[in-house]
Structure 1
Amino acid sequence: MVYKGTLPNGGHVAVKFLHDTTGNGEEFVNEVISIRRTSHVNVVTLLGFCLEGSKRALIYDYMPNGSLDKFIYTENSKQALGWETLYGIATGIARGLEYLHRGCNTRIIHFDIKPQNILLDQDFVPKIADFGLAKLCNPKESYLLSMDGMRGTVGFIAPEVFSRRFGVVSTKSDVYSFGMVLLEMVGGRRNLRASVERESEVYFPDWAHSHLAQFGSLQPFDLGFDGPEEIAKKMATIGLWCIQISPASRPTMSKVLEMFEKSADELEIPPKQFIYSPIQ
């Protein structure tokens, strides 16, 4: 539960109360330990915390525009934000993740990148939030030697987090989640949705790949604007690379940032993925 608080000087903060179902405060400890190591414009700032008996609270900067999901899961989401703003949010998330994976003194795997955990300030600058599931890596490594249980939110969890037969759990697991977020931003909907006119549109990543591969375009999908589709096409292509089944086939977040610097036509369409596609 998150509340808006007011400081004596009139400033606003977000107060997040944690109810740890494990009873040992793991989520609270994870969040404090992880985020106190960070300082980046695209990562939320922890101002303080409270630990009193069983009560645990974290105090953050207040983000007046809330979380990304309320903008991309609504009708006319592209008209509300505009594609330039959506693109700025996407690149901001990428920079924040690249910092967590490479810029910290300890590499951090977030494990729960999703629209609900991307907060937007008054200027729609994105901030990665909620480090309750995060894990720290050795500064020289980008993977975990071991991990207890599955972490994340269904729909954004990388295959190797479900089963190690797909590969090693690493920073590439966050890359997968980022790709799913990118595709939901492009589609303005959840990637898996049963209430669609055509069966081919049930799983948006499959639909996007088919149209990009066959036609080099996302039309006739309603992109919410009449101008060039350069931004949507670029975001979708990068997203499809990020959700490759094999972690080795996914780009690093540093590579993702390089891809954002290219034009959509310079980006190669990745191989189509068949696992986890509900229409295959």
Structure 2
Amino acid sequence: IAVTLYLERRRAYAKKDEELNFGQFARMPTRFPFQKLRECTEGFNKKLGEGGFGSVYEGKLGEERVAVKRLEGARQGMKEFLAEVETIGSIEHINLVRLIGFCAEKSQRLLVYEYMPRGSLDRWIHYRHNNAPLDWCTRCRIILDIAKGMCYLHEGCRRKIAHLDIKPQNILLDENFNAKVADFGLSKLIDRDQSKVMTMMRGTPGYMAPEWLTSQITEKVDVYSFGVVVMELISGRKNIDNSLPEESSHLINLFRGKARDNQLSDLIDKHSQDMLSHQEQVIEMMKLGMWCLLNDGGQRPSMSTVIKVLEGGMSIETTI
């Protein structure tokens, strides 16, 4: 009896989803049939990467290369998913990966994004592909691009959007190494009159701010994660690397110790002679990272303040 009732209820929900009027969602991106996305990815054959919510595949729609994210274990109903797609589809910024379209058929949930030919930032800073090290100028530009994308989510939208999973795997690069923030679709919307929101713990260990333990968060959890990414970009290593001795395995703990001992130069990426030749500027960037990594979220800078520091309009010393 229980199984029968469960199956009947699933059928009822599925029917309700199918009858949903797409016209009620005014600003939807293109809706693709599942079969078309299966064909354009050649049966989901070429995987570009995977994350907590699903895998991403390379595809081609006409002459345009795309990245198709197939969501797995989606717990949302159709209406909630479409409302989320409408929100993502209405957001446009040069430093955010553009949503081209979506698919919602029965249990299938897919998102179609612009293709970023250089892939994710982690492959360029963790040296997994024997790539040449990025020069200091390129790293500075990437940090500024990330800050601008995050600032738009936090301050430029009608409702603040907390990304909740800022990490190198969610920063994508175009052919000119311009950076764009990806995967902001499964984020938390915060009304402008809210100071904090309650939410289930989510994100990636090593990038999560201390206040996650209270489940009361603000967009400042993203600022903490940004600080971790800055340190990874500068040092050329993972935040947590268990292949290293225990005292060196956690980058942020190591960074705080080096800051106390006035030895920050020890953490500059040794793969790059260009980084070492800009030591003074690199250490200033580390200090910005330190500000973003403060345990008290209220003392961390906003992303608009971070941009001012990066563009030379404000110094860190006069603010902390």
TM (norm. structure 2) is: 0.73
In structure 1, what is the equivalent of residue 250 of structure 2? Answer: 203
Task: Find 1:255's aligned residue among 277, 300, 305.
Answer: 305
**1:193 to 2:241 alignment:** yes
In structure 1, what is the equivalent of residue 171 of structure 2? Answer: 118
In structure 2, what is the equivalent of residue 183 of structure 1? Answer: 231
More strand by share: 2
- Counterparts of 2:248 and 2:87, CA distance in 1: 38
In structure 2, what is the equivalent of residue 7 of structure 1? Answer: 61
In structure 2, what is the equivalent of residue 38 of structure 1? Answer: 91
Bigger radius of gyration among the two: 2
Task: Find 1:227's aligned residue among 250, 253, 277.
Answer: 277
Q: CA RMSD in A?
A: 2.9
Secondary structure of 2:203's aligned partner: coil
- For residues 148-159 of structure 1, the aligned pairs below 5 Å read 149-159=200-210
Task: Between the two structures, name the one with larger relative contact order (CA 8 Å, sep ≥ 6).
Answer: 1
Secondary structure of 1:234's aligned partner: helix
How far has the Cα of 1:157 moved from its partner? 1.2
Equivalenced residues, count: 263
> Relative to structure 2, which stretch is displaced further, 206-215 or 187-196?
206-215
Q: 2:61 is aligned with what amino acid?
A: L
**1:163 to 2:214 alignment:** yes
Task: Say whether the 8 Å CA contact 2:255–2:267 is kept in structure 1.
Answer: no
**1:143 to 2:190 alignment:** no
Could you give the per-residue CA deviations for residues 193-228 of structure 1, whole angstroms, max 9, x where no partner exists?
Answer: 23336x543322233333344336413754322412
Secondary structure of 1:59's aligned partner: strand
- Counterparts of 2:61 and 2:90, CA distance in 1: 25
- Counterparts of 2:229 and 2:71, CA distance in 1: 25
Q: Residues 252 and 77 from structure 1, CA distance in 2 versus in 1: closer, same or farther, beyond 3 angstroms?
A: farther
- Counterparts of 1:209 and 1:134, CA distance in 2: 29
How far has the Cα of 1:32 moved from its partner? 1.6
- For residues 73-152 of structure 1, the aligned pairs below 5 Å read 73-74=126-127, 79-141=132-194, 143-144=196-197, 146-147=198-199, 149-152=200-203
How far has the Cα of 1:6 moved from its partner? 1.4
In structure 2, what is the equivalent of residue 277 of structure 1? Answer: none
Task: Say whether the 8 Å CA contact 2:166–2:226 is kept in structure 1.
Answer: yes
Q: Residues 175 and 195 from structure 1, CA distance in 2 versus in 1: closer, same or farther, beyond 3 angstroms?
A: same
- Counterparts of 2:92 and 2:260, CA distance in 1: 40
How far has the Cα of 1:70 moved from its partner? 0.8
Task: Say whether the 8 Å CA contact 1:20–1:27 is kept in structure 2.
Answer: no
Q: 1:123 is aligned with what amino acid?
A: N
- Counterparts of 2:72 and 2:78, CA distance in 1: 8
- Counterparts of 1:27 and 1:238, CA distance in 2: 38
Secondary structure of 2:119's aligned partner: coil
In structure 1, what is the equivalent of residue 30 of structure 2? Answer: none
How far has the Cα of 1:152 moved from its partner? 0.9
How far has the Cα of 1:153 moved from its partner? 1.0
- Counterparts of 1:25 and 1:232, CA distance in 2: 47
- Counterparts of 2:81 and 2:318, CA distance in 1: 41
TM (norm. structure 1) is: 0.83
- Counterparts of 1:2 and 1:245, CA distance in 2: 34
Could you give the per-residue CA deviations for residues 237-279 of structure 1, whole angstroms, max 9, x where no partner exists?
Answer: 1111111111111111111112213499x534999xxxxxxxx
Q: 2:112 is aligned with what amino acid?
A: I
